């Protein structure tokens, strides 16, 4: 089957993709299918902040991929535990949550803030404030923060029985 790179018919239309189709990248450089070179100022919205295909990261991922790839969050692997400890020791926080996306991280932040006040017996402190035209992700709670163009209430309340 010949699939044209510009055929987006199989994609949900929730993003407005530009015509640029990225093919490969190295460091801060990115090339499209026609070989045109770009400087990637986006960096995957800070996800590829080490640059594309960083040799140390590539080596580490290659080595790990030959030992153990993914085991879900039901199990805690040694590298995950060590990374968690390292991050916690170098930040303000005592604990780390690994999540799959910014969306999930913001969901967790909302839940934790609500849990904190709920457990203190301050159940009415559940409002989440957001900036006008801000973006936090595409979950229901995060979309709610975005749609509201001023200080508003997020939909999901922390409940003890959930």
Ligand X SMILES: Cc1ncc(COP(=O)(O)O)c(C=O)c1O
Which residues are near ligand X by CB under 6 A? 45, 101-103, 106, 135-137
Write down the least CB distance from residue 143 to ligand X, Å: 11
Sign of CA dihedral 97, 102, 104, 110: positive
Cβ proximity to ligand X: between 28 and 101 the closer is 101
Q: How far apart are CA 142 and CA 127, in angstroms?
A: 13
Contacts of 141 (CB under 8 A, 6+ apart): 106, 107, 110, 128, 154, 155, 156
Cβ burial, residue 130 (10 Å; 0-12/13-18/19+): buried
Write down the least CB distance from residue 104 to ligand X, Å: 7
Q: What residue is closest to ligand X based on CB? A: 102
Backbone angles phi, psi at 106, to 5 degrees: -70, -35
Write down the least CB distance from residue 34 to ligand X, Å: 27
Write down the least CB distance from residue 50 to ligand X, Å: 17
Write down the least CB distance from residue 136 to ligand X, Å: 5
Tell me how far apart the terminal alpha carbons of the chain are, to the nearest angstrom: 47
CA 42-48-54 angle, to 5 degrees, is 130
Cβ proximity to ligand X: between 117 and 135 the closer is 135
């Amino acid at each position: 089957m010949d699939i044209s790179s510009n055929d987006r018919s199989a994609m949900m239309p929730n993003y407005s993709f530009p015509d640029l189709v990225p093919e490969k990248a190295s460091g801060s450089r990115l090339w499209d299918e026609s070989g045109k070179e770009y400087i990637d100022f986006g960096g995957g919205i800070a996800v590829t902040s080490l640059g594309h295909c960083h040799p140390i990261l590539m080596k580490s991922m290659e080595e790990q991929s030959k030992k153990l790839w993914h085991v879900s969050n039901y199990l805690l692997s040694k590298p995950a535990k060590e990374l968690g400890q390292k991050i916690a020791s170098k930040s303000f926080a005592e604990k780390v949550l690994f999540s799959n996306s910014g969306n999930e991280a913001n969901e967790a932040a909302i839940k934790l803030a609500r849990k904190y006040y709920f457990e203190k017996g301050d159940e009415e402190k559940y409002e989440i404030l957001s900036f006008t035209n801000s973006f936090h992700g595409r979950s229901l709670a995060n979309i709610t923060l975005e749609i509201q163009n001023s200080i508003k209430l997020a939909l999901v309340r922390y409940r003890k029985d959930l």
